[in-house]
Amino acid sequence: MMTVSDLLREKGTAVWAVRPDATVFEALELMAEKNIGAVLVLDDGRLVGIMSERDYARRVILMGKSSRETAVSEIMTARVLCVRVRQTVAECMALMTEKRVRHLPVLDDAGHLAGLVSIGDVVKAVIAQQEFTITNLERYITGAGISSYPAFPSY
């Protein structure tokens, strides 16, 4: 089973974040620049929330607020669901589906931020694993033997 640690090893551990006192506009600028759908909210390196495009649409636009005057802390999701590096990608997918979230911060064994996974990352990893399995089954059925591909294929 592929773990979140395996996924981060392939994807990288870069995390984009803003402070709680940043404006929503500043967070949106960062999201546009990095082509991402959410930013973590860190206060002195501590995870205090996450702000997504959904938060912006529902808590700024629909409420008639100004993104240039509203602090991220006013609209962020403060109760952030997280996963651990040892959890499986399948567990991430189940959690994302059940809770209807698209981004999960990843914590290491000591509880420190280790990265962030998106639903896109999870889907890519699941598809890569399925393709790997199918290829090996086809090779086995046709008598070509088991592939010498790595245990966790790149995506």
Residue 115 lies in a domain: yes
Q: Given pLDDT bands bounded at 50, 70 and 90, which one contains residue 13?
A: very high
The answer to the question of residue 14 being in a domain is yes
**Does a structural domain hold residue 83?**
yes
* Per-residue confidence band for 151, with pLDDT thresholds at 50, 70 and 90: low
Residue 150 domain-assigned (yes or no): no
Whether 148 is in a domain gets the answer: no
**Confidence bin at 132 (pLDDT 50/70/90):** confident
CB 24 within 8 A of CB 51: yes
Distance CA 149, CA 94 (A): 27
Summarize the confidence of residues 57-79 as an average pLDDT: 94
pLDDT of residue 110: 93
What is the domain count for the chain? 1
Whether the predicted pLDDT of 143 surpasses 70: yes
Using one digit for the tens of pLDDT, what is the confidence trace for 84-112? 999 999 999 999 999 999 999 999 999 99
The residue-averaged pLDDT of 58-62 equals: 91
The pLDDT of 44-60, averaged and rounded, is 95
> 77: domain range?
4-141
Lowest mean pLDDT among 58-67, 78-87, 98-107, 145-154: 145-154
Look up the CATH number of the domain holding residue 34.
Answer: 3.10.580.10
Within-domain flag for 13: yes
150 or 60: which leads in pLDDT: 60
Q: What is the mean pLDDT of residues 76-80?
A: 96
pLDDT exceeding 90 applies to what percent of the chain? 77
Residue 108 pLDDT: 95
